């Protein structure tokens, strides 16, 4: 079945710097790749997603890139702010029609 | 607010108790999900309901029993749980009418502790 690996598990950056989180997936049939942000005491919140017919998608300071050949996708956050501090999860879905999640990245942005 | 609410937010129960978790979505979605979130593990899908019919059961122990009376409400009935069942239980909904994966919107979760 599908397996999603996420790196790094923790990431600390200075405010204003960029942050990059990477995920790899195993099922070449996967075609939907969302990213979620989970703040303390809250459920995961969808922040951006990409489908396999595009290679990159941007929404203000966040962007996601997809490399189907290498089976990996990445989340890029530019000009990080303290409120970006949270746990970020990637996920992938394919023929099984289920979302398979990565193990999460705890991002800390220091002022 | 995501439009998905869960009650209670916190629950402590003994191994012999029976309790229920409730989820309600105000988004007009057709699919609802239960996930289990444990420390340092990926989110685990437990149940999927599409148009009020269960379409997925990921080999969850029978001490967890879901109920979906309509497309807006989802329950998780708990009985004779084990300490290892302590976790954050998340409900999610999706507009997908046939259970196919689309954007999923999560509630805040119920933090369950089994003593």
Reported as a pLDDT band with limits 50, 70 and 90, residue A88 is: very high
pLDDT digits (tens, 9 = 90+) for B37-71: 998 788 999 999 987 788 777 789 999 999 999 98
DSSP, residue by residue, B43-108: -EEEEEEETTEEEEE-S--TTEEEEEEETTEEEEEEES--GGG-EEEEEEEE--TTS-----EE--
Q: What is the pLDDT of residue B99?
A: 46
- Residue range B23-42: average pLDDT? 92
How far is Cα A57 from Cα A109, in angstroms, rounded to an integer?
A: 23
Q: What residues contact B22, with CB distance under 8 A and at least 6 apart?
A: B6, B7, B73, B74, B75
Q: Confirm or reject contact between A11 and chain B (CB < 8 A).
A: no
Rounded CA Rg of chain A:
13
CB contact under 8 A, B40 and A103: yes
Q: Compute CA A12 distance to the chain's CA centroid, rounded to the nearest angstrom.
A: 16
Q: Confirm or reject contact between A100 and chain B (CB < 8 A).
A: yes
pLDDT digits (tens, 9 = 90+) for A12-32: 999 999 999 999 999 888 989
Under DSSP, the state recorded for B1 is -
Could you tell me what percent of chain A has a pLDDT over 70?
Answer: 97
What distance in Å separates residue A10's CA from the closest CA in chain B? 12
- Residues 33-52 (A) with a CB less than 8 A from some CB of B: 34, 36, 41-46, 49
Closest partner residue to A101 (CB to CB) among B2, B43, B103 is: B43
């Amino acid at each position: 079945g599908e397996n999603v690996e996420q790196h790094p598990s923790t990431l600390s950056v200075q405010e204003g710097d960029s942050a990059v989180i990477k995920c790899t997936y195993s099922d070449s049939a996967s075609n939907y790749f969302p990213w979620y942000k989970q703040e303390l005491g809250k459920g995961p919140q969808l922040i951006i997603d990409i489908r396999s017919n595009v290679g990159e998608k941007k929404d203000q300071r966040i962007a996601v890139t997809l490399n189907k050949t290498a089976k990996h996708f990445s989340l890029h956050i530019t000009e990080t702010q303290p409120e970006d501090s949270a746990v970020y999860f990637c996920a992938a879905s394919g023929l099984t029609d289920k979302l398979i999640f990565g193990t999460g990245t705890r991002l800390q942005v220091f002022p | 607010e995501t439009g998905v609410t869960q009650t209670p937010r916190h629950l402590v129960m003994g191994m012999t108790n029976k309790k229920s978790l409730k989820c309600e979505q105000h988004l007009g979605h057709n699919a609802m999900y239960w996930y289990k979130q444990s420390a340092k593990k990926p989110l685990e899908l437990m149940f999927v309901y599409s148009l009020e019919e269960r379409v997925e059961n990921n080999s969850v122990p029978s001490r967890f029993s879901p109920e979906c009376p309509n497309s807006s409400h989802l329950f998780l009935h708990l009985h004779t749980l084990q300490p290892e069942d302590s976790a954050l239980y998340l409900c999610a909904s999706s507009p997908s009418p046939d259970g196919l994966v689309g954007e999923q919107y999560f509630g805040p979760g119920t933090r369950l502790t089994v003593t």
